[in-house]
Structure 1
Amino acid sequence: MTPFTILTAVAVPLLRPNIDTDAIIPSREMTSVSKKGLADGLFAGWRYTAVGGRVPNPDFVLNDPVYRGAAILLAGENFGCGSSREHAAWALAEYGFRAILAPSFNPIFRGNCVRNGIVPVELPTDAITWIASTAAQAPRTRLVTVDLRHQMVTAPDGGTHSFSIEPEAREMLLHGLDAIDLTLLRRAEIQAKRQADRERRPWVYL
């Protein structure tokens, strides 16, 4: 994964509460088990008109040209609820989102974000609403900054908001590590433990 330290980017508001994983990536869009090829299906039920397949819905925020290239998503409470499908995080990451700001996340979805290089930032609803309103005044120039190293979000008006994140999740994101990489950081301890066990129970290793 690509390490995440600090990101300054366009932030797109999608402040609906309880956006579930089927809304993030509908099941009909999950045509493979690969992490690739899912971005086009992101929010497909809202992003495209009901008739015409891939005809963009002009009323959906991601189709607004001022939010093109957005890498930060501003969301409502309980984001990523519903099923545990990891495809939701894959689709968001492939589209280009590196951070999601929401009052709360479904725990499984939150973990999927971390394991796919997306920073899940929990902030109070009023803070996210304020960030969204100030960014909306000129989305392409009034940018939002997410600083994972200092666990701080800077709004377009310069206001700052601190956030907390689990130390292990922070370590994974800062260094671009997946769960296996994180385990291998303790390779020496694992090998020492195995060697000690081999000496104590040699018959197990025949």
Structure 2
Amino acid sequence: MNILKYLTTKKPKQTKNLCAMKIFGKIYTVVLSIMLLNYPQVYAQEISPKTLKKIKATEIRLDENNGDGVFIARGKKSKKWGMFQAWSQNDVTQMIPMQYDSIDFFGFNAELTGVWNSGKVGIYTSPWSFDEDASQTIPCLYDDYKIFNVERTVYDGMGHYKKYITYVAVKKDNRWAWIDWITGELKTDFIVDLKNEKMPYPDFEQKTMM
């Protein structure tokens, strides 16, 4: 049936409005779906040979999970990897310098990620969370790391409330320990075997501001 004819056919006012809303809703859903499917591709197309030349890189790898223009690039001279975000060919921002053998992409809304050198991992904080203060806060000394979202009671000056706080555990010699990912200070000994047990509830306050 012709949509225009269907909408203009005499019907009770409420019925006509309801039909129009349903049709508009379906059209909007289709258009939005197409936009979301193409969203990561827009940024992939922008990372061109011109962009590689601008950042002096020979190789890139896209963050295809988030689709937000983030990619890691291997430096032409250093042969090390760094992280960047490209919104266009002329708008490329460095997030992590080209100093690492490999870099883990940031998770969704994550405050930190892992950076690797010589098979050891350190922690680098997110520019989205810390702006120009983002930096490597834990040196590349550990065998692995895990991020935990721990529910804690916090006080904001007006009252107490529940909030999930990011905590990090690091691995050494097959044992795990809590570490303050802002200061790099180990908070426990390496005593936990995560294959057979869980990390104990952290008994220290993890600051999230640098």
The TM-score normalised by the length of structure 2 is: 0.24
- State which structure, 1 or 2, has the greater radius of gyration over its C-alpha atoms: 2
Q: Which has the higher contact order (CA 8 A, sep 6+)?
A: 1
Higher helix share: 1
The TM-score normalised by the length of structure 1 is: 0.24
